[in-house]
Structure 1
Amino acid sequence: MKKRFFAKHAKSSAALVSLGVHAVLIVIALTFVAVTVVQKEEKAFEAKPVNRPKMQLKKLQVPVNTKKKSVKKPKLRKRIVVKPKMSQTMPDIKMPEITGVKGGLGGGVGGGLGDGGGVGFSMPEIEIFGVKGKGEKIFLILDTGNHMLIDEMGGIPAYTLIKDEMLRIVEELPPTALFNIGVFFGGRVQTLFPSLMSASRGNAAKAKAWLGPLNASGDAVTSGKFGIETLGPGGVDNRGDYRIGKFAEPLKKGGSIYGDEWSGGRVWYDATMVAMQQQADTVFILSNAWGHQRVALQKVPPLQEWKKTTSAGKKWTELVAKGREKLAQENVKRKSAGQPPKVISGGEWGIIREYFPDTERPPEPDFYYYKPLDFAEAFAAMKDQYRPREALTASGLNKKKSSKMDFSLNVVQFIRVDAEADERSSGNFSQLTQLCKGQYQTVKGLEEIQSYVK
């Protein structure tokens, strides 16, 4: 029975055995922990090779000159940078002549204000009585004639303010600038220094001591000592024949030559010529009139001969003496009242004009009146004549036929408070300053002078 049962249910028994075995295996499997380790590999990017065309390089063939040439070593230029103002005191030394030309020269007659020659320092800007200029080498020219001291111009008080303003300009210049002062009177020219000097404190003090006594004393007025005679210590007389260009050419009328005799009435002309000789690049003229810039074209009897040999001349002499007596009496009254003395300019001509205006005048010849262009060309020619040789070579001026205006000429004209500037002065000064790249200004009387100084 028992064997039959197993024989009959043989398949069911095998299934049960298999199920039991699997159950045991599952239990055993549950006792294990499966761990899977994942290792990431770093990605590497590889660029695809690109086939580029290759160019064949050619060898350069340079011709070689085996013959050696003599080459001059270039001169090195020092580059100097300075400040406009320096706190330290500069020694009173004479500066060497500066030969470099910055940026070339101006464009010629009638051009605008351009660069003057120099070493490239910061160029100081100057303004005096409304006239502005810029330069490294400054030359100030002051008229010292008694016509600058008349009442209508403001007298001695006004002249003192003019001097003070000039000294202010000098004191405010940086020590790197060069300057000089020239004065003129009666055909004479005197300068503070023999050449342009540094604008140091010491040199500014010398300028103040030199100009201080100039036309400042009432006693000097009554004694007839004006101008250069009243200057302070120092100064250099400048004498020479400054006729050049048109001024040296003989002028003819009727076959006779008189132009080579031109000597008087040049006023500020000679002083400006001294400035050109010293190679100034900025010039200021302070005066009251253009003056008799002329030359006689015919001969007339000399003044002294006319006064001795003619009745009109003898009358002239008498009236001049009477006029001087009137002036002396008037100045006595003014002195007692504490007023500055009265000044009459023009010598005996001024006396006659002031007290006896209807008097017959001495005979005068025909004149040739020099034109502004004559002056401009003469100034430029004089500067070229005294220009250092190395500067001429560097700038090419020695290859030019015409001179260049590498300077500016500025004019301040002081006029009477009761009149306007005469047409000859205003017209000529205006044209001359335009030709020489400068400015022109008129200042009328004491009050207007004070308005610029305040």
Structure 2
Amino acid sequence: MISKPKKRKMNPMLLNVLLISGGVHAVALFILGSITVYKYIVPSEAQFEEPPVVEQVEPPKEVKVEIRPQAAPQQQSMQNLRMKQVGNITVANVDVDLPSMEQSFTVSSGLGGFGGGALLGGTRGSIGIGMSDISVFGLKSKAERVLFAIDASRTMLTDKKGGLHSYRVIKEEITTMVSNLSTGTLFNVVFYNDGRLLFFKPRPVPAGDQVTQELINWVAPINSDINKLGAPGAKKIKIEALPEEPVHIAMNSYQHSGGNETAYLTQVFLEQSIDAVFVIAPRHSGFQRIARPYTQKESEAWKKRTSDPRYQEQLKEHNKERAELVKKAREIKAERDAERKKRGLPPQIFDGGDFVRRMGLSYKTNHPGGKPTYYIEERDVVRYFKDLTKVLYKDKNGTPPSINVVLFLAGDEKFSESNEDRLKDYTRFFGGKFRIIRGLDGIKAASSSKDTKN
């Protein structure tokens, strides 16, 4: 008999292992499924980069401008328009509250005579608006602001220089040059004599047809009549810079003595705020020693000498004789001038010196002696002008004007090499040039302004 096989019973421990394993797998499948669903089905939250830090800049200060209303302008015909210098035009009051500036700046002084370093300040500058080519008796330059200076003394009018005829050529040269300047160029003209000056205008004015005609009318009477020589109305001009310096004091005290007039005129020119100067003169030896005022000791010595009875007696005799000789000299000149008139010549003009001796007369009793002169040496004069140009121009980032000299001499007039060297050094000091012209024919041949166009 076949017996039935017995059913095997599952080991309880194995069953527990299987159940635990199944549970673990079920939990793992659930977790993995959840991750998959979250990653691929549920959208993730958007991410943004942090914006860069923006630097906060303080806005500029508000500029407040208050413009006061003006009356409606009246219509004006073109014929009544007049050119005026920019610096003299009056405008309505404008209140402007501008923020302060740490650094000042400069615009060309061609806009007007302002001080250096201000908003519209500075010494001579160049913005090229009115630049002109300039040529005076062959001396050439370029400038926006130019001064023409002409000696009006009798020394310019002697016979050997051509007298009044030569002076007429000189005036025509200047007025022709002014007529050929560019419209934007500023100019002025001055005549001088014995330390006094006569300016065409108080300050440089813009060139143009109307002002040229005004200039022609203004210069016409100057040294055109033998009975009215010189520059009527000329006056002393006060110089301003370096007033405490000995050279400055000496120039004010002795403007007619030798180099004093040259030095004084040079400072007057430098204080005009210009680009170029053209000087036409019968004498010019550049920088020289100049006469200075007396010290107290020197004054006392001179007073003692002149108070001596012998000095006083000789001076009295000399002056008495001179009065008689002057009368006689005038009679001689009148006779000579009458002869000249018959030949169609004007009266003779003398360039200074003792009138009595000019007429060939002499004294029996000489003058007992004039007042002695004490000088400031040439090197100290040059040093002064170095300091002056520094104060007026270089300290203000400017450039001193060029100074050019036309020296007008008689045909046979002597001019020493030492004086010519001084004149050369003087014009070189100011970046200019010089030229020596002799007599009427020479001054006519040298005329060059008519050929200069702008």
TM-score class, shorter-chain normalisation, is: 0.5 to 0.7
Cα gap change, 1:442 to 1:156, in 2 (>3 Å):
same
What code does the residue aligned with 2:126 have? G
Q: What corresponds to 2:357 in structure 1?
A: 352
CA distance in 2, matches of 1:91, 1:349: 50
Residue deviations 1:220-250, cap 9 Å, x none? 2xxxx31112xxxxxx8654432644x7534
Q: How many residues align?
A: 335
Q: 441, 444, 448: which one pairs with 2:435? A: 441
Deviation, 1:214, is: 1.2
CA distance, structure 1, for counterparts of residue 154 and residue 313 of structure 2: 25
Q: Distance in 2 between matches of 1:89 and 1:417?
A: 49
Shift of 1:443: 0.6
CA, structure 1 residues 446+258, in 2 after alignment: closer, same or farther (shift >3 Å)? closer
Answer with 305-314 or 135-144: which moved more: 305-314
Residue 125 to residue 341, structure 1, CA distance change in 2 (3 Å): same
Alpha-carbon distance in structure 2 between the residues aligned to 1:405 and 1:307:
57
Change (3 A) 1:89 1:383: farther
Per-residue CA deviations over 1:280-325 (Å, capped at 9, x if unaligned) read: 111111111138953355444799x979835445445544443333
> Do structure 1's residue 276 and structure 2's residue 261 form an aligned pair?
no
User: Could you tell me how far apart the structure 1 residues matched to 2:319 and 2:447 are?
Assistant: 46
> Where does residue 330 of structure 2 map in the other structure?
324
Distance 2:139 2:62 in 1: 47
1:130 to 114, 134, 138: 138
Q: What secondary structure does 1:139 align onto?
A: strand
Q: Any conservation in 1 of the 2:195–2:236 contact (CA below 8 Å)? A: no
1:86-125 to 2 correspondences below 5 Å: 91-96=82-87, 99-100=107-108, 117-121=125-129, 123-125=131-133
SS state at 1:189 partner: strand
- What's the secondary structure of 1:342's corresponding residue? coil
Relative distance call for 1:273 and 1:72 in structure 2 (3 A) is farther
Alpha-carbon offset, residue 367 of structure 1: 2.8
Distance 1:429 1:317, change over 3 A: farther
Q: Which amino acid aligns with 1:249?
A: E
Q: Secondary structure at the match of 1:242?
A: coil
Give the counterpart letter for 2:238 in structure 1.
Answer: D
Q: Give deviations 1:46-104, integer Å, cap 9, x for gaps.
A: xxxxxxxxxxxxx9x9986435264799xxxxxxxxxxxxxx999431232894279xx
- Distance in structure 1 (CA, Å) of the matches to 2:134 and 2:127: 18
Alignment partners' CA distance in 2, 1:213 and 1:199: 21
Counterpart residue number, 1:249: 245
Q: Does 1:309 align with 2:315?
A: yes
2:403 matched to which residue of 1?
409
Amino acid in the other structure paired with 2:214 = K
Q: How do 1:337-376 residues align onto structure 2 when only pairs under 5 Å count?
A: 337-346=343-352, 349=354, 351-352=356-357, 355-356=360-361, 360=366, 362-368=369-375, 371=378, 373=382, 376=385
Inter-CA distance 427–350: structure 2 relative to 1 (3 Å threshold): farther
Give me the whole-angstrom Cα distance separating, in 1, the residues matched to 2:172 and 2:192: 18
Equivalent position to 2:395, from 394, 397, 406 = 397
- Partner secondary structure for residue 290 of structure 1: coil
Does the CA contact (< 8 Å) of 1:376 and 1:436 recur in 2? no
Q: Which residue does the alignment assign to 2:341?
A: 335
**Cα 1:451–1:71, aligned 2, differ >3 Å: closer, same or farther?**
same
Report the CA distance shift for 1:307/1:345 in structure 2 as closer, same or farther (over 3 A).
Answer: farther
**CA distance in structure 2 between the aligned counterparts of 1:157 and 1:376, rounded to whole angstroms:** 36
Match of 1:288 in 2: 282
Query: Hey, what does 1:45 align to over in structure 2?
Result: none
Task: Give 2:188's aligned amino acid.
Answer: N
1:328 is displaced (CA, Å) by 2.6
Distance 1:237 1:337, change over 3 A: closer
AA aligned opposite 1:380: T
Name the counterpart of 1:159. 167
The aligned residue for residue 58 of structure 2 is 68
Long gaps (5+) in structure 1: 1-58, 74-87, 103-114, 230-235, 252-256, 385-395
Aligned position for 1:380 = 389
Which AA in structure 2 matches 1:340? P
What pairs with 1:80-229 in structure 2 (closer than 5 Å)?
91-96=82-87, 99-100=107-108, 117-121=125-129, 123-218=131-226, 220=227, 225-229=228-232
Residue 366 of structure 1: SS of its match in structure 2? coil
Q: 1:122 to 1:328 in 2, by over 3 A?
A: same
Aligned-partner Cα distance in 2 for 1:422–1:320: 32
For the aligned residues, what is the CA RMSD?
4.0
1:405 deviates by 4.0
Are residues 208 and 244 of structure 1, via their aligned partners in 2, closer, same or farther at CA, if it must alter by over 3 Å? same
Tell me which amino acid in the other structure corresponds to 1:430: K
What is the distance in 2 between the residues matched to 1:65 and 1:307? 97
Say if 1:277 and 1:382, in contact at 8 Å, map to a contact too. no
1:187 CA drift (Å): 2.7
Residues 263 and 445 of structure 1: CA distance in aligned 2, closer, same or farther (over 3 Å): closer
Distance verdict in 2 for CA 1:358–1:414, change over 3 Å: farther
Q: Secondary structure at the match of 1:228?
A: coil
In structure 2, the CA distance between the partners of 1:238 and 1:133, relative to structure 1 (3 Å rule), is farther
Counterpart residue type for residue 66 of structure 1: Q
The answer (yes or no) to whether the contact 2:148–2:190 under 8 Å persists in 1 is yes
In the aligned structure 2, how far is the partner of 1:424 from the partner of 1:307?
41
Instruction: Percent identity, please.
Output: 22
